[in-house]
Structure 1
């Protein structure tokens, strides 16, 4: 009797210890992953770079302003012959210097609308980077929940195995009592001891798998927890839409399709940008300069200083560049056609992947519901077998078989539950609705 009391106390203590651990909720896991996952961080940096590129500072619409300054020093030996009959002059070591400074302003008034199309392309590229970041986030969330539910499944399995071990230990206590009082042979005790060893090994393996699963989850989270933690093993199926309605969303919100449509828009702008090279460029320039000359003795002016303001309008037109612009435009058109073909291919893939994901989800959900019913049957069978075992109407082998049937039903139910939930998340990702649901 004391042994049973001790086992019950240890079980309650174990349960209390598990409850005292930190519980990592689904919402908290998503929040931590989006904040610390390295893939998400890299994607966010890419979006920041694309956003910086859309600034007016990177569009070419602003003028350029340059400052220039210089100084020259000369030391010359000069021989001068005069045409009016004066004697020749020789000047050795004649020094002269020149100092200058200027500010130049250049501004392109018209470049064939090239800047306009490039600016629109940068905006489209920024939106594409946001879609790429969203694709990374969706992939990370799926990876997160795959690891999260893996931990949850091993946690549920461990609870079932520990409960099985507790029942087996109770059976060993009962078998020892029966043997001591001559109501049973030693075989019942030995069978219980073998089953305890088997249950203990299963628990050891499951605990190891649970540790590995938690490490995998920490990797996705991008954060190392100093204390152990549990996860929420409850699952709520959130999908409420009908198949046709969800498929329409897939054709308009699927992330791969949206990225392809954005690439098509960029390809169209590439064509217009290339065509802008057929048009002339008109530019405005202006400068303000200062110049000072210290001349040698031969010069008429010893020192001269000048300042001046100049402005000009220039036009350049590349009438023929060897055909590079024509080739660039042609390739841009081919690239546009390629992007359109990729869109058609993606639409076909979406239809196939959606139907597969829908059927997979429905099948796994149905299996989960069947496994839930199977749990009730296995539990009733075990309860009746346990009652008969207590009064000696069934032997230990039959009792163990009922116990194993219940355990297998629980393990199968756990696998079916989390597998169905992951199938639902995959279906939501294909439909573009993964980020619009509560986890």
Structure 2
């Protein structure tokens, strides 16, 4: 399960990420709650903040992938993490001094979005350089495990700490946590990285990456599925705050607890993914089943009548979510050549996160117009339907091996009947 940790460079990266990710999640909870407070519990304002944070991904992620293929990824990650730390420091100082306004948060969300757009393709493609091709799946899963462990610890700390000391100190804590990642990156041995051939600066490299993906029907289908599920289904960062505050009437600690329960499921799923990563490569069938399960569980979760029941339902939802995301990430990384990995990951990040400028305001609008549960109902239905559609496309194009084409579809439709039956029983 922990095979990648035998590599010293990856151990340094892993250790820094443990600390930094906790700080990141503390900031995410604090940022959402700060926007909620400054706007008078307005779900549309929360959606705008999400959109501003992810608009740069649409604008920059493709070029960020090209940049990741051209430059030293380790040095690029050091620069990006330093910039993210400065952003958190500025927001924290504005908050603790009591001068923060909603427009400050909006501007800094956009600034954070710029550096995040550069960060994800560089960091994701750097994983392969640290551990080598054979350990990519395991390393991706371990990254997810610490990310989701932080999703348990960070929101739990933030939810209670916000009620004691306010949101500003969460931003300052995140600024300090970036030092752990930077230190780990600086202590690495560059000579022991598994670097691919250098990609010299040339015209048409972005188009070359797009053509590469366009010529691979398997990659296109996976990315289309990722777009629909991430844009409409995985909207928890916005919708959980709305459900906590507007549906169940809780405070920051209630929102933090919901985030923690979701993270219990994602953490468990990422550990199992790490175990699968040691045994073999990811499979398309698992991706399709995870996507459909995510949609079906999210749809059912929307109808949970109490805060406790809703929170418990988030655990299997988190499990299905991280299984889907880990499998998609590993499938893309293991399917591409090293010299194209940065550009392909840039495209992947675009479809994964680029829909958030649509999804964030959409979730806020739906919650305002149809109630706080509506994003779960609509997002779950779209995710499940997208999984079924992509399964049919892959079978017709031969993107799934004959060994499990029909078995995968049978599993999907069987899950669909079970979910429908479960929803019918709840309605009765």
State TM-score, norm by structure 2.
0.23
Instruction: Kindly indicate which of the two structures has a greater share of residues assigned to helix.
Output: 2
Structure (1 or 2) with the larger CA radius of gyration: 1
Higher RCO, 1 or 2 (CA under 8 Å, sep at least 6)? Answer: 2
State TM-score, norm by structure 1.
0.22
